Structure 1
């Protein structure tokens, strides 16, 4: 029997809103809006777009940016219950995120997630401007210049051995959804799955995810 493994997005999935977009809207550095539009329309890569957006912010704003996220980010209801369900059913749970370590890791710190199972982008504040660092870039099978390449992580869990479950909401999840055996989708990912003809389960809270996973396991 294949082992289930979950690859879960962070911004707009674990959190109720996209923190990177929220940061840009709040601090409003000149030039951020065209970058978002170019990423969404695939005119530039996610790595280029996110990197250039954060370069618009001075390194001196690190604490202010972090505190803004901590004060505004809401964890989607049902997240603790999903983690508990995974522990009880021996389902490996990974966070696979295009988010940035300096706000993502503190937000996840209260939850019992193995730090080695959290994949995200890193940050460097040693220069005048915030620089994003990319420790999990695309492998030889991906040419999307993702920054944090979700398909690279997914491919480490062969489909012959694992039942691969993706939970996501937006552009960073599009490629991964095409590799997954089961997709839980919301927001832009629903539209993309419909466009590509990919089967998916819509969700609003993680309690929806748990309920669906329970029905699957009961049938096995």
Structure 2
């Protein structure tokens, strides 16, 4: 087994778009843009924000949303090769996502199986979609409102003797990036790392990620 372990984001990282934003644009009642801005500016927690966003989406649209995401979500170039590379090298690849199970699993289905997929969960028995958080913050998390708490998952699945690589793009990846030995970033995460002088390698495709990981083996 490799001494490297990879924690990879889903929305905006494996997929080119943030699927939650795409879902909101297509299906949500008015008000979602303001909530999104509050999440990005950290006025509200990610957990609270995602709950509020999906409270604007009728549960009866579940199947329609799944079909929409399967058609709309573009997989970033090189992801299939990246998954194959991690298997060849016996590198654990964990998908850690602030996304929701009902669309994350269908999109990833043809690329699996994965060591594990960690994401939030949805139920549809109320009028609006309800979000649940099975991967809560541990006692060491400084945020206590992550939703799917990526640093807590990292502490559970790896240790300081391993090279922990985080691949991500957004505010949901920042706390994980602070815990990582290697950060592979783009978009909002890269900008935040620049601002706070956190070293990272930039990527546009998973072919880039393969080369960055190879350099750490």
TM-score of the two chains, using structure 1 as the length reference: 0.94
Report if aligned partners of 1:10, 1:95 keep a CA contact under 8 Å in 2.
Answer: yes
Report the Cα distance in structure 2 between the residues aligned to 1:160 and 1:65, rounded to whole angstroms.
40
The 5-angstrom pairing of residues 1-220 of structure 1 reads: 3-114=3-114, 117-144=116-143, 145-217=145-217
Q: How many residues align?
A: 216
Structure 2: gaps (5+ residues): none
Displacement after TM superposition at 1:56 (Å) = 0.7
RMSD of aligned C-alpha atoms?
1.4
Structure 1: gaps (5+ residues): none
Report if aligned partners of 1:121, 1:148 keep a CA contact under 8 Å in 2.
Answer: yes
Report the Cα distance in structure 1 between the residues aligned to 2:32 and 2:48, rounded to whole angstroms.
12
Write out per-residue CA displacement over residues 121-180 of structure 1, whole angstroms, 9 at most, x where no aligned residue: 000001111001111111111142011000001112444321100000000001000000
Report the Cα distance in structure 1 between the residues aligned to 2:142 and 2:34, rounded to whole angstroms.
23
Spell out structure 1 runs of 4+ moving beyond 4 A. Answer: none
Report if aligned partners of 1:36, 1:49 keep a CA contact under 8 Å in 2.
Answer: yes
User: CA 1:63–1:158 in 2, change beyond 3 Å: closer, same or farther?
Assistant: closer
Report the Cα distance in structure 2 between the residues aligned to 1:153 and 1:20, rounded to whole angstroms.
21
* More displaced 10-residue stretch of structure 1: 74-83 or 153-162: 153-162
Displacement after TM superposition at 1:63 (Å) = 1.1
